[in-house]
Structure 1
Amino acid sequence: MPTSLLFATWDGGGNVAPLLAIAAEAQRRGATVRVMGHAGQRGAVEAAGLRFEPYANAKPWSVTAPRSGLSADLGYAAVFADRGIGRDLIASLTREPADRVVVDGLLVGALSALRRRRVRYTILVHTLRSVMFRSLTSGPLGLVMTLRGHNPRSLYRRADAELIVTEQSLDPGSGRVPRTAHYTGAILPSIGRLRPDEVDPIVLVSLSTTYVAGQAELLQRIIEALAPRPVRTVVTTGPAVDPAALTVSENAVVRAYIPHTEALPRTSVVIGHGGHATTMLALAHGVPMLILPTNLSFDQPTIAHVVAANRLGRSLPKRASVEQIRAAFEDVLGSTEYRENAQQLGARMRAGDGLTAAVDLLLDDDRDDDESD
C-alpha cells in the first residue's frame, strides 16, 4: 500500500469535496497525506483534518472573485494551464517524496510538469469524464492548452490511473475510456432516511458556489416563479451572492448556506445549475430536477441534457423567464415519471460506495504492479 500521498487541487466549486473526502479516507486508513492548493483553500483542507501546503508559484486565484464572459473563461484556462502549480508540486516532492501524486484532472500544467520529471500520477476526474476530456482536448479550452504547449490527450494516456467519481450510467462517453480509467460512482456525504411523502415538501434552489455573472438575477426569477405555488422554497446562495440582495417571497427562505443533506430528504424538486456535485447528491436522494446551466463553458449544459434525456427532470436556458420557470417547475413537480426515474436511479447510487471504491483503487499495490511502464 502506498504510505504517502500528495494531492493537488485548485480553488473551484464541486471539484474540491471529492478530493478532500478521498484524501481524508486514505489518511484514516494509515497513509501520510498532504494537499496542495491555492491559499484560500487552507480553511477547507484543514477543516477536513488534512495537512495543507499553499502554492508559492501559482498565479493568485479565487473562485468567488467577480469575472464574466471571456475574462472568466480565460481566467479558468490560466489556472488549468498554470505551470507554476507544476513547479510547486515538483518542489514539494523534492522536499518530501510521495509514493503517489493525485492531481485534479483539469490541472494540465501540473500534469505536464510531473510527466517531464517522470513522476507517476493518478488523475481525479470529478465530473463526467466525457466532458472533462473533450473540454481539454478540443474547443476553446483545448486551443488554449495547445497554445500553452500542453498535450492533455497524451497526459491522460500516460496517467497511472484515472479515478472517475461520477455515476457511470449518466456519462455519455463511459464506453470509450482506457483500461486505466475506473468509474467509482459519485462520492456522496452520508444520506439519511428519505421522507418523500412528507406533508410539507421543500423545493431546494441551489446554484453555483462560484461567481457567475447574472446568477443573482436568475435566483430572483426563480423565487418569483415559485411565489404563487403552495410550496416551501429554500434558497441557498453560496458565498458569491449576498442573500440580502434578493427580494424574498412569503413562501421562501434564503440562506447563504445550509447542508443540503439536511434538506434533501424532505425535498420534492431541486432547481439547480447543473453542477456535478449538486446534481449527483439530488439524484442520490431520488429527487427530480429542473436545471438552468449558468456556466456554458464546461459540464453544466451536458449534465442538464443528460438529466432531461434520462427523464430525470427538465432543463431550461439560464435566461428563462419567470413564466417559463414556473411552467417547467410545475411539470417536474407533477410528473410521476420524473419522480420514479429519479428514485430508481437514487436507489442504485445509494447501493454503491464511491468513496470506498476510489480509495481502494488508490491504495491498491497490485494495480501498481499491473500498470507500471
Structure 2
Amino acid sequence: MTQLSSPQTPLRILVTGWEGGGNVPPFIAALRGLAARGHDVRLIADDSMRAEAIAAGARFQPWTRAPNRPDRSAASCFVRDRDIADPIAAFRQWCDRIFVAPPRDYALDILDALAAEPADLMIGSDLLFGGMLAAEVSRTPLVLLAANISLSPLPGHPPFGPGFQPAGNPAEQARDAEAAAVGEALWNQALPALNAARAHFGLAPLARVLDQAARAGRCLLATSPSFDFPVARMPEHIRYVGPLLEEPSWAVTSGHHAIGIDTRPRALVSFSTTHQGQDKVLRRIVAALGQLPVSAVVTLGKALEQFAIEAPDNVRILDSASHEAILPSTQVVVTHGGHGTVLRALRHGVPLVVMPMGRDQNDNAARVEYHRVGIRLAPTASPSEIARAVQDVLADASFAEQARRMAGLLAAEGSSVDRLIAEIEAFAAGHRADKPGQAA
C-alpha cells in the first residue's frame, strides 16, 4: 500500500483531456488528487469537462482549434457508434476525428497554453496523439494516463479489441499475431496525418503510429493487476496505479433515495454514459428482468436521459443514480462492460453479466470471464438468454465468492489516487535528477 511522504516542491502540471464518456471520471479523479496535494493543475479539454475540472480544484481552458465537445448530449458525440454496425469502421472514425488524424490542431492549442504558462510536466490521454506530439515538440516530460487496460498489449496478453483470453496453445498464439497485425494496420492508416503534423513541427517521420506513444516517459494504467490478465514481464515505463472510480457529478446525489427496500435480490443495470445504440439491448434486459423474482434498477446515464421504455413493476428506470449508493445492496450487475462500471461492481464484491458493445468492453468482459466473476453474453442475446444468465449468476455461489475475493484484492492495493500521485512525483523527481538545473 502506497504511503505518500510530505509533498515536495509543487509541480506545474498541464493535463490534456477529451470527452469520451467513461474516460472522464479517471481524469477528474487525477485532477482532484493532484490539486489536493498542492500541485498547480491546469486542464485543457472539451467544454463539457469544465465544471467538473474546476470543482476538482484545477484551472481550465478549452480547446480552440481542436475538436471541442460542448456538452454530453448524444448529438454532440464526435463519433456516433450507434449508427456504425462495423466496429472497425467506428474505430477508424475515432482515429480520423479525435485520436490520431487531427494532431496538429491539438498540438497547436497545447503549445499555445505552454507558451502562455510553462509546465513542469504534462499528463495526457493514451488516446490523444496530438497531446503526445505537443509534449515532444515542447520537450515537456510526458506521463500518459490510460483510463482502463493497456492499449498496447502487455507481454503475454492478447491484442486489444477482440476480447480474447490469453493464448494457451500455438493456434491461439497465431490468432493473436494475426489480430495484432490487423490492429497495427488500422492504427497506421492514420500515419500519414500524424507524420504530416510531425513534419510541420520539424520532426522526423515515424514508422508506426504507436511509436508516438512509446516516446512518453511513463504510462499509468488506471486498472488493477488483480483484474488484468497475468503479465509475463511488466515494461519498465508502464505502471499500474489502480482504478480511478470517481462518480460522474450528475450521478452522485441523484436517484438512489427513491429506490426503497426490497427483500428480493437486486439487479443494477448500467449501459454507458455515451450512446452506443443500447436502447434495444436495454429493452430486452428489462423484459428479461420482468420474468425474474428480482428487484431491478436501470440507470440510463447522460446518453439516454428521458429514454421512454415500458417497465414491469419490479424494474425501476432512473435517468441517473449513484452506483456507490446502490451497489452495497446489489447482488448482480448487468452491464455493457465499461471499465468503470465493472471495477466499481467488483470493488463492492458484486458479480456481473456483461454484454459488450465495442471499445474496451470486449476485453473487460474477457477478464470478467477469466476471473470467474461473471458471465459474458452477446449484446444480441434474447430476453430468455439474459434471464438465464442472471439466474445463473444469482444461483451459483462461486460467482459471488470470486467477486468478493476480487474486492479484497482491490482493497488491499490501497488508494489508486495516492499511487498515481506517487508515480507522477517520482517521475518528476527522476527527471530533475537526470537534468539538474532545470524544472521538473
Q: Same fold (TM over 0.5)?
A: yes
Offset of 1:154 from its aligned partner? 2.1
Name the CA distance, whole Å, in 2 between partners of 1:244 and 1:149: 39
Among 331, 348, 356, the alignment partner of 1:268 is: 331
Name 2:188's counterpart in structure 1.
143
Matches of residues 84-233 of structure 1 in structure 2 within 5 Å?
84-130=105-151, 138-139=183-184, 141-149=186-194, 151-172=208-229, 174-189=231-246, 199-213=263-277, 215-233=278-296
Offset of 1:141 from its aligned partner? 4.3
RMSD between superposed Cα atoms in Å: 2.4
Which shows bigger deviation, 313-322 or 112-121? 112-121
SS in 2 for 1:5: strand
Offset of 1:157 from its aligned partner? 2.4
Name the CA distance, whole Å, in 2 between partners of 1:240 and 1:140: 31
Rg (Cα) greater in structure: 2
Name the CA distance, whole Å, in 2 between partners of 1:263 and 1:36: 33
Name the CA distance, whole Å, in 1 between partners of 2:148 and 2:275: 19
Per the alignment, do residues 145 and 168 of structure 1 end up closer, same or farther by CA in structure 2, a change over 3 Å counting? farther
Per the alignment, do residues 9 and 132 of structure 1 end up closer, same or farther by CA in structure 2, a change over 3 Å counting? farther
Name the CA distance, whole Å, in 1 between partners of 2:369 and 2:318: 28
Per the alignment, do residues 292 and 14 of structure 1 end up closer, same or farther by CA in structure 2, a change over 3 Å counting? same
Name the CA distance, whole Å, in 2 between partners of 1:145 and 1:371: 34
Per the alignment, do residues 324 and 372 of structure 1 end up closer, same or farther by CA in structure 2, a change over 3 Å counting? farther
Per the alignment, do residues 141 and 88 of structure 1 end up closer, same or farther by CA in structure 2, a change over 3 Å counting? farther
**Residues 233-288 of structure 1: per-residue CA shift (max 9 Å, x gap):** 00001111134411111101111110100000111000011101111111111100
Name 2:417's counterpart in structure 1.
355
**Residues 86-116 of structure 1: per-residue CA shift (max 9 Å, x gap):** 2111110110001110001110122123213
Offset of 1:19 from its aligned partner? 1.2
Per the alignment, do residues 333 and 131 of structure 1 end up closer, same or farther by CA in structure 2, a change over 3 Å counting? farther
SS in 2 for 1:240: helix
Name 1:194's counterpart in structure 2.
none
Name 1:80's counterpart in structure 2.
99
Per the alignment, do residues 18 and 371 of structure 1 end up closer, same or farther by CA in structure 2, a change over 3 Å counting? farther
**Residues 105-151 of structure 1: per-residue CA shift (max 9 Å, x gap):** 11012212321332221000111115678559835641333242354
Name the CA distance, whole Å, in 1 between partners of 2:132 and 2:27: 16
Using the aligned pairs only, state the percent identity. 30
**Residues 161-218 of structure 1: per-residue CA shift (max 9 Å, x gap):** 111110113323743442121111112359xxxxxxx9443200000110112x0111
Name the CA distance, whole Å, in 1 between partners of 2:410 and 2:267: 22
Offset of 1:48 from its aligned partner? 2.4
Q: Is 2:29 aligned against 1:21?
A: yes
Name 1:238's counterpart in structure 2.
301
Among 403, 406, 415, the alignment partner of 1:342 is: 403
Which shows bigger deviation, 146-155 or 27-36? 146-155
Offset of 1:41 from its aligned partner? 1.9
Name the CA distance, whole Å, in 1 between partners of 2:23 and 2:191: 23
Name 1:54's counterpart in structure 2.
62
Name the CA distance, whole Å, in 1 between partners of 2:403 and 2:434: 37
Structure 1 residue ranges without an equivalent (≥5): 191-197
Q: Is 2:343 aligned against 1:250?
A: no
SS in 1 for 2:115: helix
Per the alignment, do residues 162 and 173 of structure 1 end up closer, same or farther by CA in structure 2, a change over 3 Å counting? farther
Name 2:431's counterpart in structure 1.
368
Offset of 1:313 from its aligned partner? 0.5
| TM-score, normalisation: structure 2 | 0.77
AA in 1 matched with 2:344: L
Given that 1:125 and 1:132 are in contact with CA atoms closer than 8 Å, whether structure 2 keeps it comes out as: no
Per the alignment, do residues 76 and 130 of structure 1 end up closer, same or farther by CA in structure 2, a change over 3 Å counting? closer
Structure 2 residue ranges without an equivalent (≥5): 1-7, 162-179, 196-207, 248-261
Which shows bigger deviation, 332-341 or 35-44? 35-44
Kindly tell me the number of residue pairs found equivalent between the two proteins.
363
Given that 1:243 and 1:254 are in contact with CA atoms closer than 8 Å, whether structure 2 keeps it comes out as: no
Per the alignment, do residues 131 and 272 of structure 1 end up closer, same or farther by CA in structure 2, a change over 3 Å counting? farther
Given that 2:15 and 2:42 are in contact with CA atoms closer than 8 Å, whether structure 1 keeps it comes out as: yes
**Residues 270-316 of structure 1: per-residue CA shift (max 9 Å, x gap):** 00111011111111111000000122xx2111111110121110011
Among 370, 376, 390, the alignment partner of 1:329 is: 390
The structure 1 segments of at least 4 consecutive aligned residues displaced by more than 6 Å after TM superposition are 370-373
Offset of 1:26 from its aligned partner? 1.0
Name the CA distance, whole Å, in 2 between partners of 1:227 and 1:140: 45
Which shows bigger deviation, 102-111 or 35-44? 35-44
Name 1:43's counterpart in structure 2.
51
SS in 2 for 1:287: coil
Name the CA distance, whole Å, in 2 between partners of 1:113 and 1:244: 40
Given that 2:12 and 2:119 are in contact with CA atoms closer than 8 Å, whether structure 1 keeps it comes out as: yes
Given that 1:38 and 1:60 are in contact with CA atoms closer than 8 Å, whether structure 2 keeps it comes out as: yes
Name the CA distance, whole Å, in 1 between partners of 2:58 and 2:25: 13
Per the alignment, do residues 53 and 173 of structure 1 end up closer, same or farther by CA in structure 2, a change over 3 Å counting? farther
AA in 2 matched with 1:315: R
Per the alignment, do residues 90 and 145 of structure 1 end up closer, same or farther by CA in structure 2, a change over 3 Å counting? same
Per the alignment, do residues 176 and 203 of structure 1 end up closer, same or farther by CA in structure 2, a change over 3 Å counting? same
**Residues 323-365 of structure 1: per-residue CA shift (max 9 Å, x gap):** 1111111111111111100000111102221111001111224
